C-alpha cells in the first residue's frame, strides 16, 4: 500500500519561481510520439493493463439506478467471457480501477458493486462539479455527503478564479479543507486545465494541489473546450516529479476528457512510463477518466485475438 500524500506547508516562493518553457514541452512530446513506440507484439498486453487504470464513468443528467448498475457490471467484467478466455485472463481478475458517478448516485454504485461481489472502489465527483461555482460550505458538504454514502475516492474541482488571479494561498487553504472533508477517502484534484490559460499556471496549480494533500492531480472535468492533451500531461508529470523529489511523496495522475481510442491510451501510458516510471502504469498511481474508451479497447483486443474486424456497435455494453 502506497503512503498517502500528507501535504506540506504552503511554499509561495516555490510556486512563484516556477515557469514552463512551452517550446521545450512541445519538443519533448514530439520526441515521445516519434521515438517511444510500443511494438505491435506488446500492444495487447498494454491495452489489457490499461483497463485496470480506467475510472469507468457516467456523469449524465439522466443517470438512474439501472444505468449505474449496468456500469458497475461492465466495470466488474470489462471484457466478454470469450475474449477473456482468448487472452488467458482468469475470470474476475481484470476489473476497471473504479466506477465514477455523481454524489447522488454513489449509493446506487456501492449497492451494484456489492451485489457483484467486487471490491472496486466508487469515485464521486463533488464540489459543484464541473464549475465549482458554489460556496465553500456547500462544496465541503457535498464531499461529506459522497463519503457518507460510500465513496472511497473524491474528484474535486479547484476554484479557477483563485488560480487565474494567482491567489495561490487561498486556493491552498480551500484544498486543505476539502482534503479534511474527504477523511480516509482519496482526493483527486481536477485542475480544469482548459480554463487556466497557460502551461505555467497548470504547473503552479499542480504544485498547490499537491501541497494541500491531493492524492491525485487530474487534468479536466471533461466539460471544458480543452481537456487532456499530452503537453499538459507532460507539465503535470514534471510537477509530480518535482514534488516527489522535494517531499518523498508519490502523487497519482489522472488524465480525463478526450481519451477515446486505444491509440490515445497507449500514448498516455508511454508518457507515464517515460516520465514517471513503471509504478505509474498501475491503478495506484495512474487513472484514466473515460466512458467510451473501454469499448474501443475491447474492440481492438477482439480484432487481435480473432483476426477479424469488429465495429464499435458490435461490442457488448455490459
Catalytic residue among 204, 218, 250, 273: 218
Residue 188 belongs to what H/E stretch? strand 186-190
Q: Which domain holds residue 260?
A: 12-306
In a domain, 187, yes or no: yes
CATH number at residue 130: 3.20.20.70
Domain total of the chain: 1
Q: What is the Cα–Cα distance from 315 to 318, expressed in whole angstroms? A: 9
Look up cell 491531493; give the residue: 214
In a domain, 312, yes or no: no
In a domain, 95, yes or no: yes
In a domain, 152, yes or no: yes
Tell whether omega for the bond before 192 is within 30 degrees of 0, i.e. cis: no
Residues 171, 166, 223, 301: is their CA dihedral positive or negative? Answer: negative
Question: Do residues 241 and 253 make contact, with C-beta atoms less than 8 angstroms apart?
Answer: no
How, if at all, do strands 54-57 and 98-101 pair? parallel
Question: Do residues 5 and 214 make contact, with C-beta atoms less than 8 angstroms apart?
Answer: yes
Q: What is the Cα–Cα distance from 54 to 288, expressed in whole angstroms? A: 5
In a domain, 315, yes or no: no
204 counts as catalytic: no
In a domain, 5, yes or no: no
74 counts as catalytic: no
Tens-binned pLDDT, residue by residue, of the chain (318 aa)? 567 898 899 999 999 999 999 999 999 999 999 988 788 778 999 999 999 999 999 999 999 999 999 999 999 999 988 899 988 888 888 999 999 999 999 999 999 999 999 999 999 999 999 999 999 999 999 999 999 999 999 999 999 999 999 999 999 999 999 999 999 999 999 999 999 999 999 999 999 999 999 999 999 998 898 999 999 999 999 999 999 999 999 999 999 999 999 999 999 999 999 999 999 999 999 999 988 899 999 999 998 888 777 777 666 654
In a domain, 2, yes or no: no
Catalytic residue among 74, 152, 204, 254: 254
In a domain, 313, yes or no: no
Amino acid at each position: 500500500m502506497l503512503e498517502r500524500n500528507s501535504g506540506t506547508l504552503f511554499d509561495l516562493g516555490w510556486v512563484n519561481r516556477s515557469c514552463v518553457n512551452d517550446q521545450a514541452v512541445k519538443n519533448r512530446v514530439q520526441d515521445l510520439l516519434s521515438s517511444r513506440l510500443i511494438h505491435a507484439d506488446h500492444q495487447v498486453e498494454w491495452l489489457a493493463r490499461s483497463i485496470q487504470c480506467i475510472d469507468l464513468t457516467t456523469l449524465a443528467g439522466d443517470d438512474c439506478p439501472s444505468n449505474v448498475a449496468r456500469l458497475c457490471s461492465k466495470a466488474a467484467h470489462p471484457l466478454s467471457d470469450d475474449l477473456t478466455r482468448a487472452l488467458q485472463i482468469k475470470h474476475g481478475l481484470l476489473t476497471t480501477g473504479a466506477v465514477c458517478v455523481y454524489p447522488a448516485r454513489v449509493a446506487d454504485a456501492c449497492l451494484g458493486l456489492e451485489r457483484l461481489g467486487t471490491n472496486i472502489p466508487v469515485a464521486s465527483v463533488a464540489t459543484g462539479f464541473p464549475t465549482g461555482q458554489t460556496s465553500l460550505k456547500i462544496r465541503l458538504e457535498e464531499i461529506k455527503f459522497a463519503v457518507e454514502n460510500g465513496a472511497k475516492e473524491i474528484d474535486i474541482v479547484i476554484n479557477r478564479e483563485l488560480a487565474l488571479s494567482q491567489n495561490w494561498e487561498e486556493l491552498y487553504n480551500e484544498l486543505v479543507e476539502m482534503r479534511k472533508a474527504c477523511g480516509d477517502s482519496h482526493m483527486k484534484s481536477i485542475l480544469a486545465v482548459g480554463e487556466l490559460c497557460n502551461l505555467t499556471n497548470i504547473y503552479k496549480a499542480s504544485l498547490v494541489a499537491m501541497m494541500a494533500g491531493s492524492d491525485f492531480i487530474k487534468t479536466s472535468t471533461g466539460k471544458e473546450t480543452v481537456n487532456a492533451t499530452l503537453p499538459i500531461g507532460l507539465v503535470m508529470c514534471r510537477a509530480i516529479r518535482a514534488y516527489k523529489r522535494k517531499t518523498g511523496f508519490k502523487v497519482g495522475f489522472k488524465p480525463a476528457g478526450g481519451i477515446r481510442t486505444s491509440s490515445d491510451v497507449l500514448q498516455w501510458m508511454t508518457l507515464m512510463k517515460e516520465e514517471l516510471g513503471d509504478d505509474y502504469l498501475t491503478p495506484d498511481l495512474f487513472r484514466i477518466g473515460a466512458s467510451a474508451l473501454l469499448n474501443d479497447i475491447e474492440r481492438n483486443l477482439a480484432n487481435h485475438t480473432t483476426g477479424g474486424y469488429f465495429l464499435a456497435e458490435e461490442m457488448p455494453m455490459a
